[in-house]
């Protein structure tokens, strides 16, 4: 097990743990009286909602104690995300090199850049659309074949007896597909597991998640999602599209692929975090757009999750990418469906046409929608709590790839078995309509000309099931069928999310919600028998689906717009908004959203859009890490190498200072330099020999930094000889001479606002003489959060 797990030590004190993130050591000397008073003093890794009864932290404490402070093992699946997360730098490094380049550039040059940005966004849209198209067609083909084979088998054995053979066939087929998908994810690229939305949220928030936007991840993601959907799991193919779009964007915008070792020598200007993150926003939006046919929803998703600063041109480009993505998908799907050029189709998931005449809602239905929202919130919180426990269990016990593959196969088999049993014991027979809207109607034990209604829900891809629940006429399902379906699918979906397969939670959530929503509609219609027109079950299915999805993922504006766009009808804006809002309020009372839970479980230093409300009594002085490792403007190479090689600190940003006097007082700030820049400088041996009086530094260009971006080599790979160690290095040209600073008395919300609004990575704290006294990094801000007992401070894992 040693070869697949990593030894990690939990820090014994949060204050020290803070040091290792990317800042500087925080000595015990730093005073934090108010915090200490508020904190319970116990080790508290993450705050669990009030429904939760498992106290992970106590567990950990116990384990730590039993191993007498030895490092604790973090299992494979979490380890991959609990590595030291670095931050992205949304703030341009405006050093001399950069400014010189910008100043050289003519107005025409900027115009060309602007045009290339549009071209890149167009490419992102086209490629994302093509990927969506590929996934859709392959899934449809494979699932069609699978269901056809099973259906023929069932028909064959229904009369002859021996349906257990059909069950086994079904389970084996599912297991085979899922095994393939799980092996890819578990063994080759674990980051491709799940929907990828939490990872993209983190990336857009400014956290660099390792390998999240690599080509390999994309390939595994695409084939993984095909396998898991065809494998009949309770999953959707929509979430992964968002991740796929983001990877496409990260690749296209850099004009090269490190994996394929191809550099097209284009878009070199975009090889930095600022630009890349903008494009990744566009990619995520294009992904949402392709998945749900919701370009505006995609833009809002990207903005809600990512952009810290609203920029009109950026938003417009993101929208362009989204539109192109939907357009490409629709165009190629229309060709595939032999209706070339008919572009009025939505994205991957098709909610079907909602006619507002037949499904208009009335004033007195508003309270019903709100009540359904509350139910969705409660059910969503239950889902999240169950999934939270399951994830904890998985982190502890299911961390070896073979176990993960086996669990995935087990879930696939159980899904097939449960579905089969439900269909087998269902006696909800419905007459086959003249339009024959069912794709694979199963007759089973029904009379001729009838089909099994339970099979519509279970013996189908989830997307089709959702559409049936929305649009099949009243009376297609009987209430018992819907109730049983909701119950079983709820637990299946909950068990499935978090498996080592590439799959999304959107569609299962919608399906669960649509089922109980339709049930509500049927019950309401039976209560108000006289006027049954108002309680159209399809309408209630839609609201239920929205409420359930909102209760699980807790997205707000973007989800409203996505659902409205997916229905293709703006009439339902208000009911969907009300349901989502209620679901969020009710759900948040019990437990956080599913994505947030998973982000927290991965110990990601995620920055919300505002500082915790009651954090005004904290100032930069208490929050910052200090003392700070600084460099002089002209620094000895040996010192730099030693600092960079010090694995116990592993700092990423270093203030550059000028010593004003020889005594020990802190030096004046004159710049900021990053580890990555220093490594490039060391690699290119940009040294000044002391003996020579004039500078012999090799002239470095921005290109050298861009070529190394984003995979800067580790310091260990750079050899520096003993002679070179004695040389000096002049940082003046490369450091950012105007880093943002704050005084020590700045309150935490103020620091937070500056940090978040500008997307900073390092914020230097200075005293009133402009001397460096501390450094604030992402982890210094992210660790404060509102708990049950007021402001709490999270402790951080060393690795």
- Residue 776: which H helix or E strand, with range? strand 772-777
Judge whether 676 and 708 are in contact, CB under 8 Å: yes
Q: CB of 91: closest distance to a second copy in angstroms? A: 8
Q: Name the β-bridge partners of 765.
A: 742, 774
Q: CB of 344: closest distance to a second copy in angstroms? A: 4
CA distance 217 to 243: 9
3-state secondary structure of 764: strand
Asked if 107 is part of the footprint of a second copy (rule: CB under 8 A), the reply reads yes
Contact characters 632-661, a second copy, x per CB under 8 A:
--------------------------x---
DSSP β-ladder status, 631-632 and 634-636 = unpaired
Query: How many chain residues are in contact with a second copy, going by CB under 8 A?
Result: 90
Q: Which stretch binds a second copy (CB under 8 A): 257-265, 565-573, 590-598, 682-690?
A: 565-573
Q: Which stretch binds a second copy (CB under 8 A): 55-63, 105-113, 374-382, 525-533?
A: 105-113
Cis bond leading into 710, ω under 30°? yes
Judge whether 756 and 88 are in contact, CB under 8 Å: no
Judged by beta carbon, residue 148 or residue 659, the one nearer a second copy is 659
Contact characters 748-787, a second copy, x per CB under 8 A:
--x--xx-xxx-------x-xxx---------------x-
Q: How far is CA 95 from the centre of its chain?
A: 32
Asked if 99 is part of the footprint of a second copy (rule: CB under 8 A), the reply reads yes
Judged by beta carbon, residue 115 or residue 145, the one nearer a second copy is 115
Judge whether 300 and 294 are in contact, CB under 8 Å: no
Q: CB of 384: closest distance to a second copy in angstroms? A: 19
Q: CB of 507: closest distance to a second copy in angstroms? A: 20
Asked if 205 is part of the footprint of a second copy (rule: CB under 8 A), the reply reads no
Asked if 103 is part of the footprint of a second copy (rule: CB under 8 A), the reply reads yes
Asked if 425 is part of the footprint of a second copy (rule: CB under 8 A), the reply reads no
CB atoms within 10 A of CB 698: 10
Q: Which stretch binds a second copy (CB under 8 A): 49-57, 325-333, 372-380, 596-604?
A: 325-333
Asked if 310 is part of the footprint of a second copy (rule: CB under 8 A), the reply reads yes
25-63 exposure pattern, b = at least 16 Cβ within 10 A, e = fewer: bbeeebebeebeebbeeebbbbbbbeebeeebbeeebee
Q: CB of 773: closest distance to a second copy in angstroms? A: 12
Q: CB of 52: closest distance to a second copy in angstroms? A: 20
Contact characters 119-158, a second copy, x per CB under 8 A:
----------------------------------------
Judged by beta carbon, residue 302 or residue 641, the one nearer a second copy is 302
Q: Which stretch binds a second copy (CB under 8 A): 151-159, 380-388, 521-529, 745-753?
A: 745-753
First to last CA, the chain: 18
From candidates 121, 307, 623, 681, binder to a second copy by CB under 8 A: 307
Q: Residue 10 is encoded by which pair of tokens?
A: 């939990």
Asked if 186 is part of the footprint of a second copy (rule: CB under 8 A), the reply reads no
Judge whether 302 and 282 are in contact, CB under 8 Å: yes
Residues 6+ apart with CB under 8 A from 260: 215
Q: CB of 283: closest distance to a second copy in angstroms? A: 18
Asked if 270 is part of the footprint of a second copy (rule: CB under 8 A), the reply reads no
CA distance 614 to 748: 10
Q: CB of 747: closest distance to a second copy in angstroms? A: 6
Judged by beta carbon, residue 94 or residue 665, the one nearer a second copy is 94
Judged by beta carbon, residue 363 or residue 425, the one nearer a second copy is 363
From candidates 564, 586, 656, 672, binder to a second copy by CB under 8 A: 564
Asked if 49 is part of the footprint of a second copy (rule: CB under 8 A), the reply reads no
Judged by beta carbon, residue 185 or residue 285, the one nearer a second copy is 285
From candidates 148, 427, 721, 738, binder to a second copy by CB under 8 A: 738
Judged by beta carbon, residue 386 or residue 758, the one nearer a second copy is 758
Judged by beta carbon, residue 259 or residue 701, the one nearer a second copy is 701
Q: Which stretch binds a second copy (CB under 8 A): 67-75, 436-444, 637-645, 746-754?
A: 746-754
3-state secondary structure of 774: strand
Q: Residue 149 is encoded by which pair of tokens?
A: 């084979």
Q: Residue 257 is encoded by which pair of tokens?
A: 């692929």
Q: Which stretch binds a second copy (CB under 8 A): 20-28, 95-103, 514-522, 676-684?
A: 95-103
Q: Fill in the DSSP letter of residue 185.
A: I
> Binding to a second copy (CB under 8 A): which residues in 500-559?
556-557
> Binding to a second copy (CB under 8 A): which residues in 339-378?
340-344, 346, 356, 360-364
Q: CB of 659: closest distance to a second copy in angstroms? A: 13
Cis bond leading into 627, ω under 30°? yes
Residues 6+ apart with CB under 8 A from 66: none
Judge whether 732 and 631 are in contact, CB under 8 Å: no
Judged by beta carbon, residue 303 or residue 797, the one nearer a second copy is 303
Q: Residue 572 is encoded by which pair of tokens?
A: 């339902």
| Polymer length of the chain | 799
Distances (CA, A) of 396 to 60, 78, 389, 392, 468: 11, 9, 11, 6, 39
Question: What sign for the dihedral angle of Cα 193, 194, 197, 201?
Answer: negative
- Residue 383: which H helix or E strand, with range? helix 366-397
Asked if 701 is part of the footprint of a second copy (rule: CB under 8 A), the reply reads no
Q: CB of 445: closest distance to a second copy in angstroms? A: 39
Q: For residue 502, with 0-12 CB atoms within 10 Å meaning exposed, 13-18 middle and 19 or more buried, which class applies?
A: buried
Judged by beta carbon, residue 87 or residue 325, the one nearer a second copy is 325
From candidates 174, 244, 315, 384, binder to a second copy by CB under 8 A: 315
Asked if 589 is part of the footprint of a second copy (rule: CB under 8 A), the reply reads no
Judged by beta carbon, residue 465 or residue 560, the one nearer a second copy is 560
- Residue 219: which H helix or E strand, with range? helix 215-230
Whose tokens are 């990872």? That residue is: 199
């Amino acid at each position: 097990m040693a070869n697949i797990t990593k030894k990690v030590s939990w820090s014994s004190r949060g204050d020290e743990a803070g040091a290792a993130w990317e800042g500087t050591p925080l000595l015990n000397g730093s005073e934090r009286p108010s915090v200490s008073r508020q904190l319970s003093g116990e080790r508290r890794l993450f705050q669990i909602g009030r429904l939760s009864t498992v106290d992970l932290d106590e567990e950990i404490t116990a384990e730590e104690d039993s191993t007498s402070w030895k490092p604790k093992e973090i299992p494979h699946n979490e380890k991959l995300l609990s590595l030291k997360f670095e931050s992205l730098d949304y703030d341009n490094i405006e050093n001399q090199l950069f400014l010189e380049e910008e100043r050289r550039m003519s107005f025409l040059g900027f115009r060309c850049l602007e045009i290339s940005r549009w071209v890149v966004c167009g490419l992102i849209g086209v490629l994302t659309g093509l990927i969506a198209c590929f996934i859709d067609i392959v899934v449809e083909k494979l699932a069609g074949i699978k269901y056809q084979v099973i259906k023929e088998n069932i028909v064959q054995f229904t009369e002859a007896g021996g349906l257990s053979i059909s069950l086994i066939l079904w389970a084996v087929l599912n297991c085979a597909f899922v095994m393939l998908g799980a092996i890819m994810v578990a063994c080759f690229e674990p980051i491709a597991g799940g929907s990828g939305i939490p990872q993209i949220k983190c990336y857009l928030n400014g956290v660099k998640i390792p390998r999240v936007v690599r080509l390999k991840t994309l390939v595994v993601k695409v084939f993984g999602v095909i396998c898991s959907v065809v494998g009949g799991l309770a999953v959707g193919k929509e979430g992964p599209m968002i991740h796929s779009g983001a990877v496409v964007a990260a690749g296209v915008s850099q004009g090269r692929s490190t994996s394929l070792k191809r550099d097209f020598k284009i878009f070199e200007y975009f090889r930095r975090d600022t630009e890349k993150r903008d494009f990744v926003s566009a990619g995520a939006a294009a992904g949402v757009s392709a998945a749900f046919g919701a370009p505006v929803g995609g833009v809002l998703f990207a903005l809600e999750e990512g952009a810290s600063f609203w920029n009109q041109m950026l938003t417009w480009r993101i929208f362009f990418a989204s539109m192109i993505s939907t357009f490409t998908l629709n165009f190629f799907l229309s060709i595939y469906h032999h209706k070339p050029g008919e572009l009025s189709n939505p994205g991957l998931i098709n909610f079907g046409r909602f006619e507002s005449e037949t499904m208009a809602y009335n004033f007195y239905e508003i309270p019903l929608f709100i009540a359904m929202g509350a139910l969705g919130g409660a059910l969503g919180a239950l889902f999240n709590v169950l999934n939270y426990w399951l994830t904890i269990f998985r982190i502890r016990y299911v961390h070896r790839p073979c176990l993960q593959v086996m669990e995935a196969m087990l879930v696939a088999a159980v899904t097939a078995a449960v579905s089969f049993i439900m269909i087998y014991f269902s006696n909800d027979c419905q007459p086959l309509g003249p339009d024959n809207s069912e794709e694979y109607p199963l007759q089973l034990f029904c009379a001729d000309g009838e089909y099994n209604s339970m099979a519509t829900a279970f013996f189908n891809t989830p997307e089709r099931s959702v559409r049936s629940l929305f649009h099949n006429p009243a009376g297609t399902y009987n209430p018992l069928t819907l109730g049983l379906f909701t119950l079983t699918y709820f637990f299946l979906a909950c068990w499935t999310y978090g498996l080592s397969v590439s799959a999304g939670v959107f569609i299962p959530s919608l399906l669960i919600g649509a089922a109980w929503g339709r049930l509500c509609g049927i019950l309401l219609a039976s209560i108000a028998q006289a006027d049954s027109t108002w309680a159209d079950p399809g309408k209630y299915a839609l609201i239920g689906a929205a409420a359930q999805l909102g209760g699980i993922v807790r997205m707000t504006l973007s989800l409203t717009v996505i659902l409205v766009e997916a229905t293709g009808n703006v009439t339902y804006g208000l009911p969907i908004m009300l349901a989502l809002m209620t679901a969020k309020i009710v759900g948040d009372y019990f437990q956080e959203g599913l994505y947030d839970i998973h982000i927290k479980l991965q110990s990601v230093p995620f920055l919300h859009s505002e500082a915790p409300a009651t954090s005004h009594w904290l100032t930069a002085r208490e929050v910052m890490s200090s003392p700070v490792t600084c460099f002089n403007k002209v620094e000895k190479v040996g010192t730099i190498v030693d600092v960079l090689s010090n694995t116990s600190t592993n700092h990423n940003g270093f203030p550059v200072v000028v010593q004003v006097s020889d005594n020990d007082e802190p030096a004046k700030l004159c710049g900021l330099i990053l580890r990555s820049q220093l490594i490039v400088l060391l690699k290119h041996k940009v040294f000044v020999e002391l003996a020579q009086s004039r500078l012999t530094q090799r002239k470095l260009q921005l290109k050298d930094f861009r070529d190394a971006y984003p995979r800067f080599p580790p310091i260990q790979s750079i050899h520096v000889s003993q002679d070179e160690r004695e040389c000096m290095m002049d940082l003046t040209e490369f450091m950012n001479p105007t880093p943002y600073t704050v005084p020590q008395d700045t309150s935490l919300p103020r620091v937070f606002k500056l940090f978040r609004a500008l997307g900073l990575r390092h914020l230097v704290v200075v005293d009133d003489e402009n001397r460096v006294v501390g450094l604030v990094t992402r982890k210094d801000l992210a660790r404060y959060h509102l708990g049950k007992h007021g402001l709490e401070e999270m402790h951080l894992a060393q690795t």
